[in-house]
Amino acid sequence: MIYRVIGRILEALGVLLLVSFFVFSIATLIPGDLSLQLTGVDGATEENIMRVRAELGLDRPFIEQYLSWIWNATQGNFGNSPLTNRAILGDVNAALPVSLQLALFGLIGATIVGAPIGVFAAVRSSSRLGQLIRTNLIVLLSVPSFVVGALLVFFSSRYFPQTYRSLFIRISDNLMENLKVMFLPSLALSLTLAGVVAQVTRNALIQELNQPYVLTARAYGFSSRKVVFTYALRGAVVQILTVGALLFGSIVGGTVITERVFALPGIGNLMVTAIGNRDFNLAIVAILYVTVVYLILNTFIDLAAEKIDPRIRNMKS
């Protein structure tokens, strides 16, 4: 077991290294850097730019910059963002919980809405209602999140002003207010993702319902409920979990749009803003945080899958 854990950690470090290298490379390829931001439009003389660049160390060769960043990183020193002059770690640490919370609530909401629809669609797949659901799911799937978000903001601010909160309150500051703030964005995300959850649930469940061991259950006269929930659902859960975990990861890193529409200071927002400003020191840390989230999720999926499906434990890797 020890070997396994060590192996995983080494793997993770390798991934992080790769990602950091990749981001660094992209950073050098993208035109423009912080020097322009710092000098401002007026002060953008040749001398000033060169001076700022030298200050920031942006004129050193790529490898040197990268290695010195790595060196600092291993000591936990990520420095300050030249733009904000605040510690990078502090900003990122503050942003991550926001995204995690959004992802959690969004996913839970999506499951509450989507999973029952998926189960229903699978069980009734041959009936007309089932077919109807299948086609409508595709519609649900195609509505972009910002449309849902924007619509929600519009309608809530007009007709249900109590639900709309523009100022973000941290969970550590005031739980109730935080929940009120998170309500609409979570709802937006849930509605967007419910379609995906429903689709995956439906497909996985249909596959399971066609398995021979489910037929055995029917042959022994088990009730429909038992057949679906005890015998069929278990096999489907691995697939659903996998998709769910991946969704979680993509929300944490990717719902910039939802964060922007609802003005949430999440990590997606932070990342995109930083990149837009060419503040790569900040961006790279944010990206790495998201990578770590994915790595943890991956491990979680593997462990959960093994627990649920015992055949996986004995398979050759």
Partner 1 sequence: MAMTNEKLLEVNDLCVTYRIGKKSLEAVKGVSFHLRPGFCLGIVGESGSGKSTIAASVLGILPRELAKVNGEVLWGDEDLLRLSRARLNALRGAEISMIFQNPSQALHPMYTIEFQLEQVFDKVSSSNFSKGTLSVSEAMSMARLKCSKDILNTYPHELSGGMKQRVMLAMALMGKPQLIVADEPTSALDVTVQLEVIELLRSIIANENVSLLLISHNLGVVAGIADEIVVLRNGGIVESGTAEQILLEPQHTYTRELVGIRV
Partner 2 sequence: MSKDLLVELIDIEKVFLARKNFMNKVKPQKALSNIDLQIYPGETLGIVGETGSGKSTLGKIILGLERPTSGRLFIQGKEVLTSRTRSKIGSEYGFQMVFQDPAGSLNPQLRIEQVLAEALGTVESSPGSSRMVRLQQSLEEVELSKEFLNRYSGQMSGGQQQRVANARALLTKPRLLVLDEAVSALDAVTQSHLLRLLKKLQKKHNLTYIFISHDLEAVAEMSDRTVVMYQGRIVEQGESSTIYHRPKHPYTRGLKASIPIRDPRLAKTQRSLMRRDLLTNEEVPQHACPFVDRCPISDEAKCITATPQLTCVPEYSNHKVACHYYRDFDERFNQIGKG
Query: Interface with partner 1 by CB under 8 A: which residues?
Result: 126, 211-213, 215-223, 226, 230-231, 234-235, 308-311, 314
Smallest separation, CB 213 to partner 2 (Å): 20
User: Applying CB under 8 A, does 317 fall inside the site for partner 2?
Assistant: yes
Q: Environment class of residue 30 by beta-carbon count within 10 Å: exposed (0-12), middle (13-18) or buried (19+)?
A: exposed
User: Applying CB under 8 A, does 225 fall inside the site for partner 2?
Assistant: no
Question: Considering just the CA atoms, what is the radius of gyration of the chain in Å?
Answer: 24
User: Applying CB under 8 A, does 2 fall inside the site for partner 2?
Assistant: yes
User: Applying CB under 8 A, does 315 fall inside the site for partner 2?
Assistant: yes
Smallest separation, CB 301 to partner 2 (Å): 15
Which entry of partner 2, partner 1, none binds 32, CB below 5 to 8 A by partner kind? none
Can you tell me the distance from the alpha carbon of 164 to that of 152, in angstroms, rounded to the nearest whole number? 9
User: Applying CB under 8 A, does 311 fall inside the site for partner 2?
Assistant: no
* Given 31, 306, 308, 309, the residue binding partner 2 (CB under 8 A): 306
Question: Could you tell me where the DSSP H helices lie in 30-127?
Answer: 34-39, 46-56, 62-74, 88-123
- Compute how many other C-beta atoms are within 10 angstroms of the C-beta atom of residue 226: 14
Please say whether the beta carbons of 214 and 236 come within 8 A: no
Smallest separation, CB 190 to partner 2 (Å): 34
Q: Residues 6 or more apart from 187 whose CB is under 8 A from it?
A: 109, 152
Which entry of partner 2, partner 1, none binds 219, CB below 5 to 8 A by partner kind? partner 1
User: Applying CB under 8 A, does 313 fall inside the site for partner 2?
Assistant: yes
Can you tell me the distance from the alpha carbon of 298 to that of 212, in angstroms, rounded to the nearest whole number? 30
Smallest separation, CB 120 to partner 1 (Å): 17
CB crowding 69-84: b at 16 or more within 10 Å, else e: beeebeeeebeebbbe
Which entry of partner 1, partner 2, none binds 4, CB below 5 to 8 A by partner kind? partner 2
Phi, psi angles (nearest 5°) of residue 214: -75, -35
User: Applying CB under 8 A, does 139 fall inside the site for partner 2?
Assistant: no
Residue 45 DSSP code: -
| Subset of residues 4 to 43 that bind partner 2, contact rule: CB under 8 A | 4
Using CB under 8 A as the criterion, what x/- string covers residues 255-294 for binding partner 2? ----------------------------------------
Decide whether 18 or 312 has the Cβ nearer to partner 2.
Answer: 312
Can you tell me the distance from the alpha carbon of 179 to that of 191, in angstroms, rounded to the nearest whole number? 18
Decide whether 37 or 207 has the Cβ nearer to partner 1.
Answer: 207
Q: Which residues bind partner 2 (CB under 8 A)?
A: 1-4, 303, 306, 313-317
